[in-house]
């Protein structure tokens, strides 16, 4: 970390000529759930520390909710006023349009080399990394220990055990034996977790869409017949159940099992729910691959502040700052050095099970400019694949047809 900070000081000095101050503008997403832990406070503290050592650089940070931040950045770029940096959910469109610096042009070699490999790959467009990973999470199967004890069952490791557990929970009157949120809020996440556990996924080995693969059709046929068709997913149709509602129901003690990310731990603990977490079951044992999610930092070319942006980002990604952010918001570090600290730290033991999943995690195909449209299509249609009379193969083929056309237009 000391080497990175030392390099930061050198770079910070060489980016300013003639004694003129440089102002960098950063737009970032808010990870807080209240004014008390708004991400604005994190950035204000970090910026104050940086500016104290770099008096010729001013950094202005605007924080927006996740509902607004991507749109705000797009509006700024479309109006010809791109920020210097944006910490958002997607980057591929800007990269494809030539509006971003590649990571190699802004980050020091130690900083760039410290990112976990799957994040580097997910950040690439046509073989060049433009998406700089900022924060990550993985998913685990959460289960209600109290409800499991009453039903006399143990956490599942296979699909058949999951279905048997769900049936036992239903017999005990549990409202949602397995909560399956395939509603429009975040259906692409639940879908991907299940596809991976069935040996499939959204793309094939050459990164082309493979939504209607045989494995994926088998997965959704199983879900339709063995969970939804046997009334093991609760009173709300999966296509109408959103993730936020499923999480709230778990925190209320009404859900036996569901896929969750780290923020669910606080929600459930706050309501007094005793819960456990295990890897997502697969067909014959724990899933060999799990879904990971990353959010992205981008560096825009328009204002030409390459050196100053790089120096500031080197500071953003030192271990101290990465760990502070991860701990504040129950997220996983995207750097191997901070992950190593977290994995051996007693204060981070709650996040340890999620951290263990990181090496086998797969991310959305965010390097594709078509992904935004494909993801929106999945959110809109996938719930109908498991409804009564629905056709898993038919719905997945419709999604594949649209995805192939979108990819061809990239």
Question: Among 192, 168, 213, 342, which residue's Cα sits nearest to residue 259?
Answer: 192
Q: What is the pLDDT of residue 370?
A: 94
Mean pLDDT of 255-277: 95
Cβ neighbours of residue 64 under 8 Å, at least 6 residues apart? Answer: 27, 28, 29, 30, 72
Instruction: Decide: 335 and 35 in contact? Cβ < 8 Å.
Output: no
Mean pLDDT of 198-207: 94
Pick from 30-39, 140-149, 350-359: least confident: 30-39
Measured CA to CA, the distance from residue 30 to residue 335 in angstroms comes to: 21
pLDDT tens for 40-76 read 999 999 999 999 999 999 999 999 998 899 999 999 9
Instruction: Decide: 45 and 37 in contact? Cβ < 8 Å.
Output: no
What CATH number matches the domain at 138-291+367-408, 3.40.50.980, 3.40.640.10, 2.30.30.100, 3.40.190.10? 3.40.190.10
Q: Where are the domains of the chain?
A: 2-137+293-362, 138-291+367-408
Q: What is the pLDDT of residue 169?
A: 98
Prediction pTM value: 0.87
Span 2-137+293-362: which CATH code? 3.40.190.10
Q: Which two tokens stand for residue 258?
A: 């569901």
Measured CA to CA, the distance from residue 99 to residue 179 in angstroms comes to: 41
Q: What is the pLDDT of residue 67?
A: 83
Q: What is the pLDDT of residue 4?
A: 32
Q: What is the pLDDT of residue 226?
A: 98
pLDDT tens for 129-188 read 999 999 999 999 999 999 999 999 999 999 999 999 999 999 999 999 999 999 999 999
Task: Say how many Å lie between the first and final Cα of the chain, rounded.
Answer: 39
Phi, psi of 66 (to 5 degrees): -60, -25
Binned at pLDDT 50, 70 and 90, residue 8 comes out as: very low
């Amino acid at each position: 970390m000391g080497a990175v900070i030392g390099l930061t000081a050198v770079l910070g000095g060489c980016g300013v000529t003639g004694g003129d101050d440089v102002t960098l503008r950063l737009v970032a997403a808010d990870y807080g759930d209240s004014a008390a832990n708004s991400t604005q406070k994190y950035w204000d503290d970090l910026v104050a520390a940086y500016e104290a050592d770099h008096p010729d650089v001013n950094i202005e940070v605007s924080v927006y909710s996740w509902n607004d931040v991507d749109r705000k950045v797009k509006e700024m770029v479309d109006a010809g006023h791109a920020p210097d940096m944006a910490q958002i959910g997607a980057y591929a469109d800007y990269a494809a349009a030539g509006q971003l610096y590649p990571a190699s042009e802004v980050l020091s070699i130690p900083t760039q080399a410290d990112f976990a490999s799957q994040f580097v790959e997910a950040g690439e467009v046509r073989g060049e990394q433009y998406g700089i990973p900022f924060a990550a999470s993985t998913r685990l199967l959460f289960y209600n220990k109290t409800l499991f004890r009453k039903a006399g069952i143990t956490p599942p490791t296979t699909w058949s055990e999951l279905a048997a557990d769900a049936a036992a929970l239903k017999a005990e009157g549990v409202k949602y034996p397995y909560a399956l949120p395939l509603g429009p809020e975040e259906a692409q996440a639940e879908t991907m977790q299940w596809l991976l556990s069935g040996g499939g996924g959204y793309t094939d080995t050459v990164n082309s869409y493979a939504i209607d693969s045989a494995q994926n059709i088998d997965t959704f046929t199983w879900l339709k017949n063995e969970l939804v068709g046997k009334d093991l997913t609760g009173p709300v149709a999966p296509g109408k159940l959103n993730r936020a509602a499923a999480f709230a129901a778990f925190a209320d003690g009404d859900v036996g099992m569901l896929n969750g990310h780290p923020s669910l731990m606080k929600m459930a603990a706050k309501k007094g729910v005793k819960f456990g977490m295990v890897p997502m079951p697969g067909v014959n044992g724990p899933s060999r691959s799990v879904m990971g999610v990353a959010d992205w930092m981008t560096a825009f070319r328009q204002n030409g502040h390459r050196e100053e942006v790089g120096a500031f980002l080197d500071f953003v990604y030192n271990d101290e700052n990465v760990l502070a952010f991860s701990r504040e918001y129950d997220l996983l570090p995207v750097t191997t050095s901070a992950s190593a600290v977290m994995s051996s730290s007693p204060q981070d033991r709650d996040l340890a099970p999620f951290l263990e999943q990181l090496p086998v995690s797969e991310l959305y195909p965010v390097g594709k400019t078509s992904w935004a449209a494909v993801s929106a299509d999945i959110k809109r249609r996938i719930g109908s694949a498991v409804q009564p009379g629905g056709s898993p193969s038919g719905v997945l083929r419709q999604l594949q047809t649209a995805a192939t056309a979108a990819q061809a237009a990239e």
